[in-house]
Amino acid sequence: MTDPPPAIRSAFDAASEITLTPAGDQPPLRADAARNRQRLLEVAAELSTEHGAANVTMEAVATAAGVGKGTVFRRFGDRAGLMVALLDHHEQQIQAAFLMGPPPLGPGAPPLERLRAFGPAVIRHEHAFRDLYVAVAAHPRRRFNPSYHVKHTHITLLLRESGAAGDIELVAHTLLGYLNTTLDDYLINSRGMSVERLTAGWHDLVTRLAGGE
């Protein structure tokens, strides 16, 4: 098995605070370039909310931001890169909620309460941006990227702190499998299951795998 990245390994070993991590491996940008990139992401997020992710194009972002199309291509490479970056933008929102937000999702609640709150928060967040998550789900960088590792590390730490039994790393992957965007989208939109039913299923799974009540 390939060892996890140093930042993830240190989180396992020292239970250190996990920091917000984008899904892409972007090189450091100058302050002005970083501000411009953030502005383009905000514009893309607004367009996605208003018109759906499928209708967010490089040209549309450039026009809405009042910049040349080449600027958008330089920042994101292509539309796939823009979609992944936009997903990062939304991923950091949910990361902030479970790493630094109020309990029971954030710090301050017992580990099993935080774990029980984690699943519904992720399900509702991804359902709110379902077209974007589904659009990016098949991207090769999507599943095993830093944001996935952040979630996996977070669940692993909560399982260890709660004294859960078994192979904790694999249990964490199993729990994350329940939160698979494509699966949840299928269950909600094709099988007619409610978000509340998926939430109840998450709580049941936590009880079975982590000993919650």
Q: Give me the pLDDT at residue 136, please.
A: 78
Nearest alpha-carbon partner for 86 in 44, 52, 49: 44
Nearest alpha-carbon partner for 29 in 40, 43, 16: 40
**Secondary-structure percent of the chain, ordered helix, strand, coil, rounded to 5:** 70, 0, 30
Q: Give me the pLDDT at residue 212, please.
A: 59
As a whole-number percent, the residues of the chain with pLDDT over 70 amount to 81
Question: Virtual CA dihedral for 20, 184, 46, 22, nearest 10 degrees?
Answer: 20
CB contact at 8 A, 199 and 119: yes
Mean pLDDT of the chain: 84
Confidence of residue 14 (pLDDT cuts 50, 70, 90): very low
95 contacts: CB under 8 Å, gap ≥ 6: 20, 21, 147, 150
Q: Give me the pLDDT at residue 29, please.
A: 60
| Structure-model confidence comparison of residues 196 and 32, the more confident one | 196
Which two three-digit tokens encode residue 107?
Answer: 């710090």
| Structure-model confidence comparison of residues 156 and 24, the more confident one | 156
Residue 164 confidence (pLDDT) above 70: yes
- DSSP tag of 139: S
Number of other residues whose CB lies within 10 A of the CB of residue 211: 14
Q: Give me the pLDDT at residue 9, please.
A: 39
Q: Give me the pLDDT at residue 123, please.
A: 95
Nearest alpha-carbon partner for 109 in 161, 74, 173: 161
Ranges of beta strands (E only) in the chain are none
Average pLDDT estimate for 179-193 = 92
Residue 89 confidence (pLDDT) above 60: yes
Maximum average pLDDT range among 74-83, 123-132, 135-144, 197-206: 197-206
Of 41-55, 137-151, 159-173, the one with minimum mean pLDDT is 137-151
| Structure-model confidence comparison of residues 142 and 33, the more confident one | 33
CA dist., res. 147 & res. 120, Å (int): 17
Number of other residues whose CB lies within 10 A of the CB of residue 69: 14
Residue 12 confidence (pLDDT) above 50: no
Confidence of residue 13 (pLDDT cuts 50, 70, 90): very low
- The amino acid present at 92, given as its one-letter code, is Q
Of 39-48, 69-78, 83-92, 97-106, the one with minimum mean pLDDT is 83-92
Nearest alpha-carbon partner for 174 in 150, 156, 158: 156
Average pLDDT estimate for 164-176 = 95
Q: Give me the pLDDT at residue 64, please.
A: 94
